[in-house]
Amino acid sequence: MRKLTIVNFAILIGASLLLSSCFVSKSYQRPDLKEAQGLYRTDHIPKDSLSMANISWKTLFTDPFLTKYIEEGLANNIDIRVAIQQIVMSEAYLKQGKAGYLPSINLNGSAMHQETSKNSTSGKISFDQFDLTTTLSWEADIWGKIRSNKRAYEANYLQSVAAHQAVKSRLISNIATTYYQLLALDAQLNITRQTINAREKSVETIIALKNAGQVTQVAVDQNIAQLNSAKALQVDIKTEIFRTENVLSILLGKKPQSFERSSLESQSLNTNINVGVPSILLRNRPDVMSAEYGLIQAFELTNVAKSNFYPSLTLTANAGFQSIDFNNWIDSNSLFSNLIGGLAQPIFNKKKIKTQNEVALAQQEQALLNFKQSLLNAGSEVSNALFACTSETEKFNYRIKEVEALRNAELNSEELLKNGYATYLDLLTARQSALNAELNVINSKLLQLKNIVYLYEALGGGWQ
């Protein structure tokens, strides 16, 4: 009889292994993405996969202060550290998913003392029982449910890694643009200080002209007003520098402080603006990769939901020691064992399995739409950054010419005013226009730097 039982279990295990090849679950295939075609809105359609995103941030950024701050940010930024902990959690679930093929083993020990009632059919009986039992349970992966569940955990882990990469890429971009913002504010502050010095001298000159009877007190008042306007602008710029330094402090995970830095004039991002074919976003953009891993996870969970419609094969074994005498508890005569093979087919369970399947299918479709949307967003961001890079470079040249013309107008107005051929209003207008134009040149230079950084981030650069 015992031999028959062993043979039966051997047949049952062999059958389960044979059935394991009959997976209900399917393997993930990337959907046909029409959205990946023509993602970039540009007159120059890229034909190769060469992209500036493949350049390391250490190569793109050459300013020693900036590279130092980026390294500190990657080490200390709070968002980065939170993302790393998310990876740790996902890795723990991944290890759990890989253990799905293994059996579960439990060890239980118990001691029981029982006394029956005197009025029971057998009268009062008192006895003890001691048990030490090991239970092993194993489910055969007939329909691929365990495999799909494992793959879902793998996708979740990779999604957390991609999310960390996205945080890293965004952090590098934010540190760089904030640093460039500080350099631009420094340049604006320097221009404003020069303007204040020039206007202080101009006030002295206009007072001398007024004393000579060439201008009125109105001209003096207007010049003093322009001087105070420049001083107020200087206060605003200093305030903005203070706030921007605090923003950089947060990005670096530090307490608020001032930072060493170079100058805006020394900045140059000399790199070829190559965007590559749109399909490279699928492997370069962390948020797009994260969205696809979310789709893979939803796909595998749909496989799990489908497999719940089919029977599950479970093998259970119990073995241990059982005795009513403590002294003979751990003894060969106290050994016992049993083997159970079960095949469970769900028939009616209040529509739970069908509901789970319908929900899983809807979540998979939702994940697919999120994936497509992330790809469209990526294409839009690349297009915007690419167009902005081109247009800002063109605009910068016009700004330079504007400054030259207005500075000449200012000098000419001063000479004409001294010789009585122009009014003080002409000079005031020329001065204010020249100052605004110089500030605009600085803003244009800043935007050029920022747009290259935005394009670098939009293409998925920074995390490699």
pLDDT for the residue 264: 92
pLDDT for the residue 3: 46
Q: Could you tell me the fold of the domain covering 24-102+150-313+355-458?
A: Outer membrane efflux proteins (OEP) (1.20.1600)
- The domains of the chain are located at 24-102+150-313+355-458
Res. 18: pLDDT tops 60: no
Distance CA 179, CA 68 (A): 11
The confidence band for 4, taking pLDDT boundaries of 50, 70 and 90, is very low
Q: Which residue has the higher pLDDT, 384 or 21?
A: 384
pLDDT for the residue 191: 92
Question: 317-353 pLDDT, tens per residue?
Answer: 888 888 887 888 788 888 888 888 776 777 777 788 8
Res. 33: pLDDT tops 50: yes
pLDDT, the chain, mean:
83
Question: 362-383 pLDDT, tens per residue?
Answer: 999 999 999 999 888 988 888 8
The confidence band for 112, taking pLDDT boundaries of 50, 70 and 90, is confident
Q: What is the mean pLDDT of residues 63-69?
A: 94
Angle between helices 78-98 and 145-211 (to 10 degrees): 170
Chain Cα centroid distance, residue 168: 7
Q: Which residue has tokens 């890989």?
A: 98
Least confident of 42-46, 221-225, 384-388, 403-407: 42-46
- DSSP summary character for residue 103: P
Burial of 10 (0-12, 13-18, 19+ CB in 10 A): exposed
The confidence band for 22, taking pLDDT boundaries of 50, 70 and 90, is low
pLDDT for the residue 393: 84
pLDDT for the residue 271: 64
The confidence band for 20, taking pLDDT boundaries of 50, 70 and 90, is very low
Cα-flanking dihedrals φ and ψ of residue 67, to 5°? Answer: -65, -35
Q: Which residue has tokens 């590098």?
A: 172
Contact 70, 177 (CB under 8 A): no
Question: 291-307 pLDDT, tens per residue?
Answer: 999 999 999 999 888 88
Res. 13: pLDDT tops 60: no
Distance CA 194, CA 435 (A): 10
